[in-house]
Amino acid sequence: MDPVNTAVVRPTTAAERDERSAANSGRPTLEFGQRVPYDSYVHASTLHTLQRTLSGDPGEMSFLVVSQIMELYFKLVRHELTQARDHLRADQVWPALAPLRRAALHLEGLNAAWQTLRWMTPADFNRFRDLLGEGSGFQSAMYRQVEFLLGLRNPALIRPFKGSDAFDELTAALHEPSLWDEVIALLARHGHDLKPELLDRDYAVEHEADPSVSDAWVRIYRDPGPENHLRLLGEALTEVADRFGDWRYLHLKAVQRTMGAKTGTGGSNGVAWLQRSMNRTVFPELWTSRTEM
């Protein structure tokens, strides 16, 4: 086995770093025994081998790299939302706020990625589009994981992954409580009168807005005090939902800009499918309750 590829990061202390800096007269270290420590941690040399374009068109590299960046952001958002869900399951409202805030910021980064594709016209996309075959962002397993965590559930959408590890992972995620399911259970434990069927249901079925949950949020928001952690939770969740809504809108606009109302590469009717998807609301009672606040 190649020792360069198996090199690991060697931990250092503050004293060691100061000693090295003094020995280097403040200049960066330029000599290492094997692999550069940065690459041992980030695996940049591996990441940079993953861009394998299918055409000679120079613009395809932008499309491919941005798609890969979005995949990494999906993974990061999933990580944060899972952390938040686990905290809420354990009645830890305050610790759940940090991963939710981070998730909202990661979604801002994800949304910014769309801006780097604004140069792409239909003619630009058409130069390599046919080579993508039936490949489509619709088939992203990690994006589906994010949707499931946010409470957007459609069992049919895991069918493309049959026969893969992703299928088993998505099946498990589909039958677990979403982040919003855990929020509803938390509200019930905090004394809010919610319909019993909300707490004992088939999680694979998408949650629909319920007046009892909306009423709970109205009561929560009536207390503006700093100790009202549930209100802070509501605002953190609203920020996540808002930024995720921005992503869906920017996705729709990018598709309209590059292919109009053409059929999608994955077989959908493109823009029309995305417009229908946008009608499914994340954390719906956070929005319906605002009418009564």
Q: Give residue-wise pLDDT tens across range 179-204.
A: 999 999 999 999 999 999 999 999 99
Q: Name the strand (E) or helix (H) holding 99.
A: helix 93-115
Residue with tokens 């990690």: 142
Region 128-140 average pLDDT = 88
Structural contact between residues 217 and 285, judged by C-beta atoms closer than 8 angstroms: yes
Domain boundaries, the chain: 1-49, 60-291
- pLDDT tens for 207-239 read 999 999 999 999 999 999 989 999 999 999 999
Q: How many CB atoms lie within 10 A of CB 222?
A: 10
pLDDT score for 111: 96
Helix-strand-coil split of the chain, %, nearest 5: 65, 0, 35
Residue 251, marked binder: yes
Residue 265, marked binder: yes
Residue 238, marked binder: no
Banded model confidence at residue 1, pLDDT cuts 50, 70, 90: very low
Banded model confidence at residue 272, pLDDT cuts 50, 70, 90: confident
> What is the rounded distance in angstroms from the CA atom of residue 34 to the CA atom of residue 27?
20
Structural contact between residues 76 and 110, judged by C-beta atoms closer than 8 angstroms: no
Region 272-287 average pLDDT = 86
271 vs 197: which has the higher pLDDT? 197
Q: Which CATH architecture has domain 60-291?
A: Up-down Bundle (1.20)
Q: Which of 133, 171, 145 is nearest to 74 (CA)?
A: 145
Q: What is the mean pLDDT of the chain?
A: 92
Beta strands in 205-249 (DSSP E): none
